Structure 1
Amino acid sequence: MIQTVYRLLIELTNGRWTSSILKGFARSRVSRFIVPSFARIYQLNVEEMEKGLTEYPTLHDLFIRTLKKDARVIDDARDSVVSPVDAVIEDVGPINKRSEIIVKGKTYSIEEMLGNAELLSKYLNGTYMILYLSPSHYHRIHSPVNGTVMNQWTLGSKSYPVNKLGLKYGVRTLAKNYRVITEVKTEFGHVAIVKVGAMFVNSIETTHKGSDLVKGGEMAYFTFGSTVVLLFEKNIFEIDPHIHTPKEIKVGEKIGILK
């Protein structure tokens, strides 16, 4: 029963008022009383957390938790691309010449997702990867590559669910939700990291300062579960042959190579 309540409140809520109420509750001191049950229901790995459960004063603090220093190992090969998040790889495939991708039977426009026609050409015939974070996942976002930030911008105002039901039945959620887009130039080519909000306006907080990104370094965090879309320039990315969908993945694990 309690698991059903959590699903309804956290995974499926998208109304303006209900989202605002939930946001306020998650940040309130009262929410600390459900931290232990939330951790149990979603089977959080308390051993890897930087703090013990009793040290999180609110549910929000638990959501944006940091991990112990050695909790994630970052693949350090020069050409490797690593997962930026703990997540499920839901889909991977080509971006067609019309800038479209097909996810869960729905067509999304990369041009709409990026909101920048001038940048679009380099990603046509490239590759996309979608990584979905549930409430059970660690919510910090890390850089998948070494490189230089060329630009970062925000788009969208509302955020609807981006879980399997949201992707299947929502209205172009990946391209219309509130999102923060970071374009990175690597020695091999360009990668766009699209951080898509799932609940509330501005559910993404950026933490990285400066223009240089180090693979595995923290970039931002989600205040609730959401999705990261990686876009790779044409002919620069080769997916790891061990990757299949859906696949559970952790920060720092290799998802492919740049060439």
Structure 2
Amino acid sequence: MNATSDYYSDPSFTIFKLPTWRAHFYKFLSVDIWGNLPGNIQRKISAWYSSFYNKPASKKIIKPYLRINYSDENYLDKFKPPHGKTEFESFQDFFIREFKVLPKNESPYVWPCEGLLCDADKVCDLNLVQVKSDTRYIATVFGLKEGQIPKDYTFTNVFLHNKNYHRIHAPIHGTISRIQHVPGDLVVLRPWIYKESPSLPAFRNERYNIDILDEHGRTWYVSIIGGPAVGTIKLSKDICVGNAVDRLQELSLFYLGSTCCMASPIAPRYHTKNTFVEVGVPY
């Protein structure tokens, strides 16, 4: 699969087509073994695993990682180190890299992140999900009750691979009407191990939910979801209830691993399930 604009070098990655038995096995390891560990144990193991990427020695793997994962040898020229740094001091710095210049277009609705669009359907057409013997609805992802999100809204889930840009941006101009932190698990995010329900981790993992009221009085629901080895989901500056946000204003960043879900009053116009989307291109 290819990118849909020339602004990016290569947001795509290999999608593994696992045999059903292997997908079920990996799901068992993720949900029934790892997912049944107490949350504090999951976080301690994740913190231990991810700590290496904050060490100065980890910057040595940036160049090999670029060669293996990106077709454009000048890929990194579009980005700068985070937090005003003059160079990437660790692999984590590369992971949370910033665009030097964000993409520009005239569309009023844009994608908030880049990655694989692994789920896309009307809220009313999506199946319920069983999590630890509880029935959960699409509204559960966003910390709401069944019926609070209009049934004609469209639910989308974008899986961010390790190679993808890991900052989440506002899809519209609007006003933040709600921010909610939902504690949860850190089960594996990769959608190809959840064949029947690629969005399963979104129903049970730790996440931040941000509601944005657009200029037409419609609410756009954004859920920023963590996974194993996520050190932090950090909200960006000035992301507070009542504050206005501009289209493509940064909402948050991930320190390793992520998925971004959205429930919106319009459906994607140019992308379908199992295609790649990019930050800032028309939604």
Distance 1:175 1:166 in 2: 15
Map of 2:111 onto structure 1? 83
C-alpha change, 1:178 and 1:216, in structure 2 (3 Å) is: same
Relative distance call for 1:243 and 1:213 in structure 2 (3 A) is same
Is 1:183 equivalent to 2:224 in the alignment?
Answer: no
Assess if the C-alpha contact under 8 Å between 1:204 and 1:223 holds in 2.
yes
**TM-score of the superposition, structure 2-length normalised?**
0.72
User: 2:96 matched to which residue of 1?
Assistant: 64
- 2:19 maps to none
Amino acid at match of 2:277: I
CA shift in 2, pair 1:84/1:202, >3 Å: same
Task: Indicate which of 221, 224, 243 corresponds to 1:195.
Answer: 224
**2:142 counterpart residue number:** 114
Q: Give the direction of change, closer, same or farther, for the CA distance of 1:75–1:56 in structure 2 (3 Å limit).
A: same
Mapping 1:66-215, distance limit 5 Å = 66-69=98-101, 72-77=102-107, 80-96=108-124, 100=127, 109-117=137-145, 120-168=147-195, 172-188=200-216, 189-200=218-229, 203-209=232-238, 210=240, 211-215=243-247
RMSD: 2.9
State the Cα distance separating 1:182 from its structure 2 match. Answer: 0.2
Listed as ranges, the gaps of 5+ residues in structure 2 are: 1-28, 35-41, 130-134
Distance in 1 of aligned mates of 2:212 and 2:246? 11
2:254 pairs, out of 211, 217, 222, with 222
Q: State the secondary structure of the residue aligned to 1:161.
A: coil
Show CA shifts across 1:75-111 (max 9, x none).
333xx310101212122101128x8568xxxx96223
Give the unaligned 5+ runs of structure 1: 1-11
Question: 1:145, 1:109 → 2: CA distance?
Answer: 25
Report percent identity of matched pairs. 20
